[in-house]
Chain A
Amino acid sequence: MAERNGSAAGKKPAAAATQPILKVDGVTLQYKTKEHLITATYRVGFDVYPADRFVLLGPSGCGKSTLLKGIAGYMKPVEGAIRLKGREISEPGPDRVMVFQEFDQLLPWKTVKQNIIFALHNGGKTDTVAEAEEIAMEYIQKVKLTGFEDTFPHMLSGGMKQRVAIARGMAMEPDVLLMDEPFAALDALTRLQMQKELLQLWEDTHFTVLFVTHSIEEALIVGSRILVLSPHPGQVKAELNAHHLNHDNVGDKKFAKVQQHIHDMLFADRILEEDVKPGARG
């Protein structure tokens, strides 16, 4: 833990000197349903620096997943701009790889290895099959799935499927890895395991990751920096540091204090909302 603190402190001045890799600037995202125009986020802005484990945290309805879709390029902001390395994002691309919550994100007609090769090949990462195969095997080993490379996804457990999805995303070595509640559909034990493994992988290469979650605990464990969003529509409530917190801190005073602080921040809205509602009815 002391080591983690030390390394983070050592990086701070460097981070200040480097430019943010992703700039989200006053972004308003809206989508239409049959009857309503819903504003998912309203003028949200934040900067993500290289090697950040940047978490978007908020209750359901705060537009965090929509924001991630905007960054991935599936949605265009109605206001503001999203820039990756200074270039405005206009469509999906392999420089921002998405890892979804759903287990069906693996192509069922391809084996574990073929799924990764598919990404490398179509994403323009590799030219030859041999090269793609080598990279695929390397990442399969990294996510501890050696021996399952020729297995089809339907034979894997939920946790293993998510590991493959993460391996596929990381193999692309994107500028930023986008993770949309990737562990939310897992059981608690597997989730804990996956969080630890994700942090280990990060220790290896210090990749930049944008991680969406609604769990305060997960945000504190996984994240190095946390953007707290308020719901309906999503607006920035706070940006906090969590690089000094990990699994070892769960349950200790420092961890509990930040957890309580975020909890209060999010909960304050709820109480206000509930206060307003009966009045509106009467």
Chain B
Amino acid sequence: MSIKPPAGKGLLPKLVIRPEYEVSDIAQAQISDVAHKLSLAERIWNINGVRKAVILLALVAAWQAYTVGFDVEPLMLPSFSISFMRLYNDLFYSDLIYKVWFSVKVLLIGYSAGLVLAALLILWATATRFGSDFIAMATAMFNPLPAIALLPLAMLWFGLGTASLVFVLIHSVLWAVALSTHSGFENVSPTLRMIGRNYGLRGIFYVLKILVPAALPSILAGMKIGWAFAWRTLIGAELVFGASSGSGGLGWYIFESSQNIDTDAVFAGLFTVILFGIVVENVVFRNIELRTVNRWGMQQ
């Protein structure tokens, strides 16, 4: 019955037999120390906004230090303070705010129309295999097409107005959102699908009550990408075809300023886009995530 030891038995460590023991009364008093409060500094550093603000301030400080310290020609790269003052002045003492409003309005129309169309397309794709094939083909075909490349066509079809802008915005939002939502749906676990069917969910209810929440991380990622694409497309389109229907938006403001070699104003325009980016990402999307996917443990 004895197990044959391998060659060189003497080299193997010996089993050390120790006395047994049992603890009859585990000290209860110690347990209150298991969790203790974090220090104030740790708690402040744990706030998401604080850490992000530090990053922002560091970037601004580096920019300001470089431009002032090395005495950079303001026409090439104005300092942060000059650009920021320009933004402040143009927003409150010039018509920049109307240009921003014009752009944001078009952006929201295009973005929401893109989302609605994406939702309809996705519903079709989940209901039928043909719809699913269509999404796969259409995203493969149209997603790589830059919206700006479609702009001349859009202008030909819809004229020099908001309609053309909305058309290219829809193009840039639709495929990005549809693609990520569709792949999100495909990745929903078979167990959750079976649970949904077990409790009698079908059709639109099955999509809304099982697929959408289960694929929400992908859907939100798609919506963020769509939002960024929409801004790029809008600013790009305005740069290309300038003032439409008299007023013109943020892109036109940037274009006009660069034509006049008014570099502070170019930066003021870029700031506006960046500020929107920060607010939408950190306030809108962040709050949606905190209330949904983070809370549900689907995203850390």
Q: Are B191 and A102 in contact (CB under 8 A)?
A: yes
B189 CB within 8 Å of chain A: yes
Interface residues on B, range: 20 to 34
Partner of B213 from the list A109, A123, A153, A172 (CB cut-off 8 Å) is A109
Contact with A along B196-216 (1 / 0, CB 8 A): 011111000100011001101
Q: Are B194 and A92 in contact (CB under 8 A)?
A: yes
By a CB distance below 8 angstroms, the chain A residues around B263 are none
A109 to B205, CA, bound (A): 16
* Most A Cβ at <10 Å: residue of B195, B200, B295, B298: B195
B292 CB within 8 Å of chain A: yes
Q: Are A74 and B194 in contact (CB under 8 A)?
A: yes
Interface of B is mostly: helix
Partner of B295 from the list A94, A119, A152 (CB cut-off 8 Å) is A152
Q: Are B191 and A104 in contact (CB under 8 A)?
A: yes
Partner of A108 from the list B197, B205, B298 (CB cut-off 8 Å) is B298
Q: Are B292 and A100 in contact (CB under 8 A)?
A: no
Q: Are A72 and B198 in contact (CB under 8 A)?
A: yes
Contact A118-B199, Cβ < 8 Å, known A74-B194, A100-B191, A155-B297: yes
Q: How many residues of A contact B (CB 8 A)?
A: 26
Partner of B198 from the list A92, A108, A153, A155 (CB cut-off 8 Å) is A92
A97 CB within 8 Å of chain B: yes
Q: Are B195 and A105 in contact (CB under 8 A)?
A: yes
Contact with A along B282-300 (1 / 0, CB 8 A): 0000000000100111100
Cβ distance A76 to chain B, nearest Cβ, rounded Å: 14
By a CB distance below 8 angstroms, the chain A residues around B194 are 72, 74, 92, 98, 100
Q: Are B200 and A124 in contact (CB under 8 A)?
A: yes
A107 CB within 8 Å of chain B: yes
Identify the closest chain A residue to B213 (Cβ). Answer: A109
Contact A109-B292, Cβ < 8 Å, known A122-B209, A155-B297: yes
Cβ distance A170 to chain B, nearest Cβ, rounded Å: 14
A263 CB within 8 Å of chain B: no
What are 21 A-B interface contacts by the 8 Å CB criterion? A72-B194, A92-B197, A92-B198, A92-B200, A94-B198, A98-B198, A100-B191, A104-B191, A104-B192, A105-B192, A107-B192, A107-B210, A107-B213, A107-B214, A108-B296, A109-B213, A109-B292, A109-B296, A122-B199, A123-B199, A153-B297
Chain A residues at the B interface, C-beta cutoff of 8 Å: 72, 74, 91-94, 96-98, 100, 102, 104-105, 107-109, 118-119, 122-124, 152-155, 172
